[in-house]
Structure 1
């Protein structure tokens, strides 16, 4: 099975090269892109089954053994995130194909979209599979380079104005990450994460803490945790709807994944647990209060995106098996649901010509299917029983109560308040955009929604419901993944030959 490990990176890259050559053959471009991502999803499912049954799947790239060579490793955490990210990117790609047919003029996708999108998915996969810090950095840079193109696709005035903010912040985080890598290598003599698990433990406490904070700062910017999140609500909403959706669903979660890996494999012991708890609480509350003040659906969802990152950091900060399991479950849930909501916002824009709540109304009567596509993921995000959002939050809050102490108790209260405010926001959007009498935008003649856009969004809504129906098996996978993360030995022994540390 080790031969499958590089394929989630290699297949999209080969697809990107082929679609670039087919720039003047749009139909073939679309076919190659869909086949590439469908193959990637199939491989990811096989890797998850193998990792769950037999432990981490490892490949030594080029035959060079660790810790000298590049290692790619698919443990349960990486394989699970590969599955959900592959499913989401495939659905968003199908949505974007329909979106391209429905758009005209300056916002229409150009031939570079498909190769760039495939490069982005390859970068995400590389980050999840990376077995050393430098390859993790390479994964980030691949996806960021592609995202720079995608976020300004079409060259509209708004995208040109706000895009540089995203680019500058991303480059800053990369510079911090690269500096941290230099310091880690100077202190330990290795970049291999399995080897670092032992060598970092042997460093003086102040040196170890400094390296940990440097890496957390870089990952925190990428994950958009407070106070490092101000760039996101101004950047994401300006991109085309499919781009915004995949950014919201995946890019910040790669940062969260890096935080999980760093806090469990490299720096176990909860040395900065209290700091992470404070950051998690502020991220929840500041993000959701920002969402309350918004009238544009895309900006509103961008703030809820920031807010719910706090739940994941809360689970990581607890450091228990229950906390980590809840955090992983919530990452899977949030990738799916947040992406779906941005796709729905794109459908609203196509149907009504605007995502400004002040110009919307009556969509439940005019477009009942669109109303259903919004209502289900919105209630899921708000944590209404029995949806996966409720189950994920319940798992995290129970872990917080079990941890005891003042700060975890405060976070339990903050998480509950954030969930209630999310429900208020979802109800507000429903009442204004879907329930009240039609306003200026929705009183215009109906615009037909492309079937492919509706179908892709429906598929993601169904996936969100499936997470609820399969919550029991999914929690077993996340609990096993959390146990392995806490123990560290399954990961280390899979990567390093006996006697090498």
Structure 2
């Protein structure tokens, strides 16, 4: 029999009754902006001349919002906003800590550079087939993955960025693009399936998918057979997403096929989402399981960085070479996950921030080199120094940064990872990092000598003048590496604080459960 309607019901235990402040809306505003701007471009799909003019300001606004969000998290701690007013763990929560906030901001900077470059790189046909709406949808998926506090919704945002990446990958419908897209789709769908199986298994074990709730309950299951199996599933799924050995062969088979700005966005952003998910799940939620699997992760990391570096050294096509350098960088980040200490995780986070900027810039530089020299082939290139001194200087700085040489940003994460590896006695992993860096230096030195320094064999026509849509993104990304290489304290501090927040998620949990959820063993009260 139904209760009398006059009986008062206390909803405060299940629903958020207080209105959200404007500052709280910063949590969801980046995703809402990208989805709304992408939908607006679809509504004016017949005015493709306006797409770039609207998309680039939207990306610039995304940078400002993410910067404000990072400032809020840095000054006040993790922030949570629940969807539909339902309190966690019943409602879907967006929870942003320093790790997610700084990754979202740097990703937005890389996307803005790509959007500006696309104003010239994407022709009328590419705009007609929806490059800019796909770009904004991609950023909605990337940002959503960085700010969600729910494992199932992490899977959903992976799907969003995967769908948009399919559209970007086949832009132009050339035979080579379709072939690359097929390989990309099959392997990524397999990784997504493994991720979904892991999500189902996770719910079967814990009865929840909220990350903070899992962190409070995981202490009762530490090191058991189900959680070890679950950890192995997640490691395999995210390793496939990040293109780590032995499931990395899809990346060099596909990343060289689309427009160069698409390759730049993929190389700079998509694999880093896989690394982000691996760090978030295995370091924050399942540290004991990560420790049990650390040797497997470390072996995969060493082989990934070494084979990626050797693959780059063997390439004649600049786009394929850049793809192998992306793989080598993934190995360095996985080394930080395998080490698992706060310095190791901090080094992996710092390397991810560096890689988002450096790999995006590397692909854009590759595109400009092909524009100046008329080919992506090292055998056909030459004399770029004579044709464009400014571009040669920017490329040289970028090559040093990618190789991890001083005084640029790429140096500091490698130093952090080397020290962390030596601190735990993993000398062979430290040696792998050094050998990989040496081979990468040789590969990039070969590119510089052949494509830039070597005189061109034939009389090339005068180089077309570079527009500001090419100069600005390349110069901006290179300047990022220079400035934070010379003055790395702020990024190093952010990375260390982010690693501390993952090792001790008590502040993250209090953000989701302000009423006082149990704190996991080892966490601060």
Mark yes or no: TM-score above 0.5.
yes
Other-structure match for 1:348: 369
Q: Aligned partners of 2:410, 2:138: CA distance in 1, in Å?
A: 27
Other-structure match for 2:313: 292
Q: Which moved more, 1:305-314 or 1:346-355?
A: 346-355
Instruction: Tell me by how many angstroms 1:72 deviates.
Output: 0.4
Judge conservation of contact 1:95–1:452 (CA < 8 Å) in 2: yes
Aligned to 2:255, what secondary structure does the other structure show? helix
Alignment partner of 1:318 out of 339, 361, 379: 339
Q: Aligned partners of 1:455, 1:319: CA distance in 2, in Å?
A: 38
Instruction: Tell me by how many angstroms 1:109 deviates.
Output: 3.9
Other-structure match for 2:37: 15
Other-structure match for 1:373: 394
Other-structure match for 1:303: 324
Distance 1:110 1:439, change over 3 A: farther
Aligned to 1:33, what secondary structure does the other structure show? helix
Other-structure match for 2:385: 364
Instruction: Please show how residues 89-168 of structure 1 align to structure 2 within 5 Å.
Output: 89-100=111-122, 103=123, 108-168=126-186
Other-structure match for 2:196: 178
Aligned to 1:234, what secondary structure does the other structure show? coil
Aligned to 2:208, what secondary structure does the other structure show? coil
Other-structure match for 2:6: none
Instruction: Please show how residues 67-466 of structure 1 align to structure 2 within 5 Å.
Output: 67-100=89-122, 103=123, 108-203=126-221, 205-269=224-288, 270-404=291-425, 408-439=426-457, 443-466=460-483
Instruction: Tell me by how many angstroms 1:499 deviates.
Output: 4.7
Runs of 4+ in 1 over 4 A off after TM superposition: none
Q: Aligned partners of 1:194, 1:412: CA distance in 2, in Å?
A: 33
Aligned to 2:95, what secondary structure does the other structure show? strand
Judge conservation of contact 1:351–1:449 (CA < 8 Å) in 2: no
TM-score of the superposition, structure 1-length normalised? 0.96
Judge conservation of contact 2:144–2:154 (CA < 8 Å) in 1: yes
Alignment partner of 1:55 out of 59, 77, 94: 77
Instruction: Tell me by how many angstroms 1:24 deviates.
Output: 2.2
Q: Aligned partners of 2:505, 2:132: CA distance in 1, in Å?
A: 38
Deviations 1:420-458 (A, max 9, x none): 111111110000000011045x82443333331122211
Judge conservation of contact 1:352–1:444 (CA < 8 Å) in 2: no
Q: Aligned partners of 1:169, 1:193: CA distance in 2, in Å?
A: 27
Q: Gaps (5+ residues) in structure 1? A: none
Aligned to 1:49, what secondary structure does the other structure show? helix
Q: Which moved more, 1:219-228 or 1:365-374?
A: 365-374
Deviations 1:179-220 (A, max 9, x none): 111111111111111111132332361111001111111111
CA root-mean-square deviation = 1.4
Deviations 1:322-344 (A, max 9, x none): 11111111110111011101000
Q: Aligned partners of 1:349, 1:427: CA distance in 2, in Å?
A: 18
Q: Which moved more, 1:346-355 or 1:132-141?
A: 346-355
Judge conservation of contact 1:18–1:32 (CA < 8 Å) in 2: no
Judge conservation of contact 1:351–1:448 (CA < 8 Å) in 2: no
Q: Which moved more, 1:264-273 or 1:320-329?
A: 264-273
Instruction: Tell me by how many angstroms 1:386 deviates.
Output: 1.4
Instruction: Tell me by how many angstroms 1:21 deviates.
Output: 1.3
Instruction: Tell me by how many angstroms 1:412 deviates.
Output: 0.5
Larger radius of gyration: 2
Aligned to 1:238, what secondary structure does the other structure show? coil
Q: Aligned partners of 1:53, 1:429: CA distance in 2, in Å?
A: 44
Instruction: Tell me by how many angstroms 1:500 deviates.
Output: 4.2
Across the two proteins, how many residue pairs are aligned to each other?
493
Structure with greater helix percent: 1
TM-score of the superposition, structure 2-length normalised? 0.91
Judge conservation of contact 1:99–1:450 (CA < 8 Å) in 2: no
